[in-house]
Amino acid sequence: MDEKDLVDLISDALGEGGGRGRGEGGRKPDRGGDKGGRGGGPEGFQVDTAALDAYAKQTAKLAEELRESAKKGLGGITGEGFGRIGRDSGFAEALAGFAKALGTQVSGVAGNAAELGRATRRTADAYQEQDGGIAIDLSKLLG
């Protein structure tokens, strides 16, 4: 059984008849798979869940590095290196305030990066779960 026969079998089982998809006039919507991209073929697409996993891990690592930078690297900026003139002019206090604000911003970016990693992980899980469900459905259809 080739791919077209399998598509026809599934379409017939789903009540779509004639192996035609959901596009207008029975034509399957183009998902870019046959345009030289990384798609799974002219009638669908493919998700590289391993790449999503790797991205999620890299993003989590980046978030942790940002958190550490906010704590250690920026916490050492106090403005005390400018001595009495820096203190009396208010420059030291302004610099310390800037460092604190920058630390807050970097921590916020770290939180957003961590959430991006978690969302990417959930996306990979959803695709894997969907693929598993499709495999079960195909097994049932093919007997």
- Structural domain including 62 reads 48-143
68 and 126, same domain (yes or no): yes
Residue 13 shares a structural domain with residue 83? no
Q: Looking at the structure, tell me whether residues 101 and 41 fall in a common domain.
A: no
Judge whether 41 and 56 are in contact, CB under 8 Å: no
Number of domains in the chain: 2
Burial class (CB in 10 A: 0-12, 13-18, 19+), 88: exposed
User: Under a CB-based contact definition with an 8 Å cutoff, are residues 28 and 21 in contact?
Assistant: yes
* 54: pLDDT strictly greater than 90: yes
Name the token pair of 24: 């207008």
Residues 40 and 59 in one domain: no
Same domain membership, residue 61 and residue 5: no
Give the model's pLDDT for residue 79.
Answer: 67
| Upper half-sphere CA count for residue 41 (Cβ side, 13 Å) | 6
Q: Are residues 67 and 129 in the same domain?
A: yes
Q: What is the pTM of this model?
A: 0.58
- What is the rounded CA–CA span in Å between residue 105 and residue 122? 26
What pLDDT score does 114 carry?
95
Crossing angle (nearest 10°) for helices 91-142 and 49-68: 160
Same structural domain, 77 and 143: yes
| Shared-domain flag, residues 20 and 81 | no
* One domain for residues 10 and 71: no
Beta bridge partners of 41: 44
How high is the pLDDT of residue 105?
93
**What does the pLDDT look like over 56-100, one tens digit per residue?**
999 999 999 999 988 887 766 666 777 888 888 888 888 888 888
User: Does 106 lie in the same domain as 60?
Assistant: yes
Q: Are residues 11 and 65 in the same domain?
A: no
Please report which helix (H) or strand (E) contains residue 111, including its range: helix 91-142
Same structural domain, 74 and 123: yes
Residue 36 above 70 pLDDT? Answer: no
